[in-house]
């Protein structure tokens, strides 16, 4: 599997994971000139719009997937989320957050370790 295929597979696993936990998928891989967001979902418990960055790896040899979401990446996601909110008439625009879903694929056992980090901020 090449990097693109691994990324697409990870995004699908993340969507399945979110749906299993009660989220409604609003959009998958929303991309505009300003940036891209892997998954946009609605958390029904609090009607919060969630912009999800999905990071998938087949090994932790170079670190955990979530470690690649740095301040610069978060700023890009934030700007893209703002653009989504501005260009879409979505109810409850003020109630949103950024999450990260980290996926480590175990190819030998056909399993995935999925970790959901909620409400990631731009603060260090």
Full residue range of the structural domain in which residue 36 is found? 3-117
**Is 123 inside a domain boundary?**
no
Residues 6+ apart with CB under 8 A from 103: 10, 13, 14, 54, 55, 56, 57, 65, 112, 113, 114, 115
Q: Residue 16: enclosing H or E segment and its boundaries?
A: helix 3-20
Distances in Å between the Cα of 25 and the Cα atoms of 2, 14, 113 are 26, 10, 21
**Is 11 inside a domain boundary?**
yes
Report helix, strand or coil for 122. coil
**Is 8 inside a domain boundary?**
yes
Question: Using an 8 Å Cβ cutoff, are 98 and 118 in contact?
Answer: no
**Is 16 inside a domain boundary?**
yes
Q: Mind listing the pLDDT tens digit for each residue in 5-14? A: 888 999 999 9
**Is 122 inside a domain boundary?**
no
> Is the pLDDT score of 3 beyond 70?
yes
* Number of domains within the chain: 1
Q: Kindly tell me the sign of the dihedral angle through the C-alpha atoms of 5, 39, 52, 83.
A: positive
Residue reference for tokens 């696993």: 13
Q: Mind listing the pLDDT tens digit for each residue in 45-100? A: 888 999 999 999 999 888 999 999 999 999 999 999 999 998 887 766 678 999 99
The whole-model pTM stands at 0.91
**Is 77 inside a domain boundary?**
yes
**Is 124 inside a domain boundary?**
no
> Please, which pLDDT band fits residue 118 given cuts at 50, 70 and 90?
very high
Residue 62: give its domain's CATH number: 3.40.1350.10
**Is 79 inside a domain boundary?**
yes
> Is the pLDDT score of 122 beyond 70?
no
């Amino acid at each position: 599997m090449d990097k693109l295929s691994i990324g697409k597979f990870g995004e699908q696993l993340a969507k399945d994971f979110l749906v299993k936990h009660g989220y409604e998928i609003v959009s998958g891989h929303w991309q505009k000139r300003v940036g891209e967001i892997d998954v946009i979902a609605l958390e029904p418990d609090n009607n919060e719009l969630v912009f999800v960055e999905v990071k998938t790896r087949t090994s932790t040899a170079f670190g955990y997937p979530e470690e690649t979401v740095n301040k610069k990446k978060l700023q890009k996601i934030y700007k893209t989320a703002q653009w989504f909110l501005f260009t879409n008439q979505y109810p409850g625009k003020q109630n949103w957050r950024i999450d990260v879903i980290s996926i480590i694929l175990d190819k030998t056992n056909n399993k995935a370790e999925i970790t959901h980090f909620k409400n990631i901020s731009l603060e260090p």
